[in-house]
Amino acid sequence: MTTLRNSVNLIGRLGNDPEAKTYGDNKTRVRFSLATTEIRKDKEGERQEETQWHNVIAFGKTAEIAEKYLKKGKEIAVAGKITYSSWDDKDGNKKYMTEIIANEIQMLGAKK
């Protein structure tokens, strides 16, 4: 059995339609944003919502399916891993990005 040390599972809604690009030997990559919302009650019993935005990337067959079937607002489950990157912008400022590399995407909700 393989134990994954870097894994993430998210359920959320797409913030935009997947943006597809083809590279190399006709391989596909898609990017999209995913909003996850946590709902809780504060000390006064008032409902509080906190939304987090995630950058998601998918490759190959997963990317092709995402490009074909996913649309802004669609609820999905994503399983994958977290990656971190950094670079210096044109002014020499350090920039950081966190992305989710999706291994699996499952469509949720009612079929239209």
* Helix, strand, or coil (residue 25): coil
Predicted confidence band of residue 74 (pLDDT cuts 50, 70, 90):
very high
Task: Give one DSSP letter per residue of 40-108, joined into a string.
Answer: EE-TTS-EEEEEEEEEEEEEHHHHHHHHHH--TT-EEEEEEEEEEEEEE-TTS-EEEEEEEEEEEEEE-
Q: Is residue 111's pLDDT more than 80?
A: no
Report the distance separating Cα 67 and Cα 30, nearest Å.
7
Q: List the chain domain ranges.
A: 8-107
pLDDT given for residue 1 in this prediction: 57
Query: What is 8-107's CATH number?
Result: 2.40.50.140
Q: Is the distance from CB of 56 to CB of 32 less than 8 angstroms? A: yes
Q: What is the mean pLDDT of the chain?
A: 92
Q: How far apart are the first and last CA of the chain?
A: 38
pTM, rounded to two decimals: 0.83
- What digits encode the pLDDT tens for the residues 10-36? 999 999 999 999 988 888 999 999 999
